[in-house]
Amino acid sequence: MGRPLGALLLRSNPFAPQIIRFIQNAIPTKIRAGFPQLIKKVVLIMHPMLNIAVKAAIRAGKLIYRAGDNLDHLTVTKKSHADYVSEVDRAAERIIIEALHDAYPSHAILAEESGAQGQSEYVWIIDPLDGTTNFLHGVPQYAVSIGLQHNGVLTQAVIYDPTKNDLFTATRGRGAFLNDKRLRVSKRKEMADSLICTGFPYSNMEHMDAYLGVFKDVMQKSAGLRRPGAASLDLAWTAAGRYDGFFETGLKPWDMAAGCLLITEAGGMVSDLKGADTFLQSGHVCAGNPFIHPQLLEIIAPHLTPGLKA
């Protein structure tokens, strides 16, 4: 699948040998047998800030993956209804923040567990373990998500799935990738042929009735509806064309920042439930390819309550 990683990196990055060694050492031992294949698939030419985020995500992913072998021994705290945090979430977040601050000490941080830190035109938006409930139950559908905003505009994105060695990356204006494969959203044009993804409201039930109305309509009008339980991966899979569309309410910026950039860089569309670009502020998101996105909005529209329109 293309030229060797080393040759391409050496052309584009003087630190290529260090990067290759770092990625190799970061892969968990029990899946290192697949490393030669991964090496051929890793995104080859990256923005410097994306390089730092990738290294941080892989290091955090390594920690999470190993912790999955000892789930019974983890310390878990319940933050709210159906919302949990483990010592693994916190440790992974520390790894990421330390790596980013070592490289960019003046940058601000917005992270799920530690909140907002600092003020800067650059803001890193971090979910160290998206899909914590899945992880705690041994369900291999979770990811590390890191996005970067510059003056309020999403510019870099990393989503790393340590269970599959899937590394999703995007830089604004440079496209989106899964390892070394350029991503494009699906080409399906009809809702009746489309596979749609969603996420159930899990802690804030304020919009549950409206959501269930949308859920019912989409289920009846699409080819299928899925709810895997990790919004960052749901968005990444939409960018990869595995899903044709996605919608969810009540998300936080760290759930969707990186995934939304992946979708737009893969040729897709992202908005709130009204079609506006305030999804990071509202927490309500609708995404998909250019054909399915407007059809999803049309299905959603009759169910919008004043709260979902705000």
Burial class (CB in 10 A: 0-12, 13-18, 19+), 75: exposed
Does residue 172 sit in the same domain as residue 211? no
User: 23-37, 109-123, 184-198, 277-291 — which is least confidently predicted?
Assistant: 23-37
**What CATH number should be reported for the domain holding residue 161?**
3.30.540.10
Does residue 60 sit in the same domain as residue 150? yes
Q: Report residue 46's pLDDT band, with 50, 70 and 90 as the boundaries.
A: confident
Task: Look at residues 182, 212, 242 and tell me which one is the last residue of a structural domain.
Answer: 182
Cα–Cα dist 41/173, whole Å: 21
Q: Can you state the percent helix, strand and coil of the chain, rounding each to 5?
A: 45, 25, 30
**What CATH number should be reported for the domain holding residue 292?**
3.40.190.80
Does residue 152 sit in the same domain as residue 212? no
Does residue 258 sit in the same domain as residue 240? yes
Give residue 307's pLDDT. Answer: 78
Q: pLDDT of 183-223, one tens digit each?
A: 999 999 999 999 999 998 766 677 788 999 999 999 999 99
**Higher pLDDT, residue 36 or 134:** 134
Task: Look at residues 149, 182, 215 and tell me which one is the last residue of a structural domain.
Answer: 182
Domain carrying residue 150 = 5-182
Q: pLDDT of 52-104, one tens digit each?
A: 999 999 999 999 999 999 888 787 777 655 556 678 999 999 999 999 999 99
158 pLDDT more than 90: yes
H helix or E strand, kind and range, residue 167 = strand 166-171
pTM metric for this prediction: 0.84
Q: Report residue 280's pLDDT band, with 50, 70 and 90 as the boundaries.
A: very high
Which one-letter DSSP state was computed for residue 300?
Answer: H
Q: What percent of the chain has pLDDT over 70?
A: 82
Mean pLDDT score across all residues of the chain: 87
Give residue 171's pLDDT. Answer: 98
Q: CA 87 → CA 74, 106, 128, 148, distances in Å?
A: 7, 27, 11, 25
CA angle 86, 64, 35 (to 5 degrees): 175
Does residue 242 sit in the same domain as residue 265? yes
Does residue 19 sit in the same domain as residue 150? yes
Task: Look at residues 143, 160, 182 and tell me which one is the last residue of a structural domain.
Answer: 182
Give mean pLDDT, residues 99-126.
Answer: 96
Does residue 23 sit in the same domain as residue 168? yes
Does residue 126 sit in the same domain as residue 242? no
Does residue 109 sit in the same domain as residue 145? yes
Does residue 28 sit in the same domain as residue 175? yes
Does residue 176 sit in the same domain as residue 300? no
Sequence-ordered alpha helix ranges (H) in the chain:
5-12, 16-26, 35-41, 48-67, 87-103, 132-136, 208-221, 231-239, 253-265, 279-282, 292-300, 306-309
Does residue 170 sit in the same domain as residue 295? no
Number of domains in the chain: 2
